[in-house]
Amino acid sequence: MKIVAIVGSLRRESYNMQLARTMQERYRDRLDIEILDIRQLPYYDQDEENHPPETVVQFKRQIADADGVLIITPEYNWSVPGVLKNAIDWASRVDKVFIGKPVMTAGVSPAMLGTVRAQLHLREILASPGVQAKVLPPGGNEVLINFAGQKFDAITGRLTDPVTLEFLDTVVDKFIAFIQMSAAQA
């Protein structure tokens, strides 16, 4: 199953990027997770949306060709980072590659509340008319990893907390079933 991951942090060793890498390794027998580079995307420009730069064309093609999308976001000022919003803005225009696409959200923070506010905003964005993604429903599927410094290995950078990993396994199982159900309904 082909999954593209969009990480809303540009810092190479961010906890959110480390979560993406952990998932890429942990689920490699079940999911082919490709981490997209949103650093290369220019600022969204409506004057360019009908003839976007090749980096945007490629980014949108990768989303369109995937079975599902994993969006991992930090929380900046109680919301999603601008680079993540920019990426979604590009994907929401003209060919609108998110429409009907199964999406799972997650996030990591060193703080107590994880990325709860950012993910609430992200769900609103993903439900907007130009996006209309099929987001894995809430109710036990919220991957809000808090106190990151205690849950990631300082040397490898990978998520190692057994309780968090067990919960993540459960949500990934639900996401795979959600993708399969979405494909059957298409």
Burial of 35 (0-12, 13-18, 19+ CB in 10 A): middle
State pTM to two decimals: 0.97
Residue 186 pLDDT more than 80? no
| Residue 13 pLDDT level (bands cut at 50, 70, 90) | confident
DSSP string, 78-127: TB--HHHHHHHHHHTSTT-TTTT-EEEEEEE-SSTTTTHHHHHHHHHHHH
Segment 15-28 shows an average pLDDT of 98
pLDDT in tens, 114-134: 899 999 999 999 999 999 999
Across 159-183, average pLDDT? 98
DSSP string, 1-26: -EEEEEES---TT-HHHHHHHHHHHH
Could you read off the pLDDT of 94-121 as tens digits, one per residue? 999 999 999 999 999 999 998 999 999 9
Q: Which tokens sit at 94? A: 């003209």
Orientation angle between helical segments 82-91 and 116-127, nearest 10 degrees: 20
Strand partners, 4: 34, 69
> What domains can you pick out in the chain, each with its CATH number?
2-185 (3.40.50.360)
State the pLDDT at residue 156: 96
Mean pLDDT along residues 14-23: 98
Contact in structure between 121 and 151 (CB atoms under 8 Å): no
pLDDT tens for 22-67 read 999 999 999 999 999 999 999 999 999 999 999 999 999 999 999 9
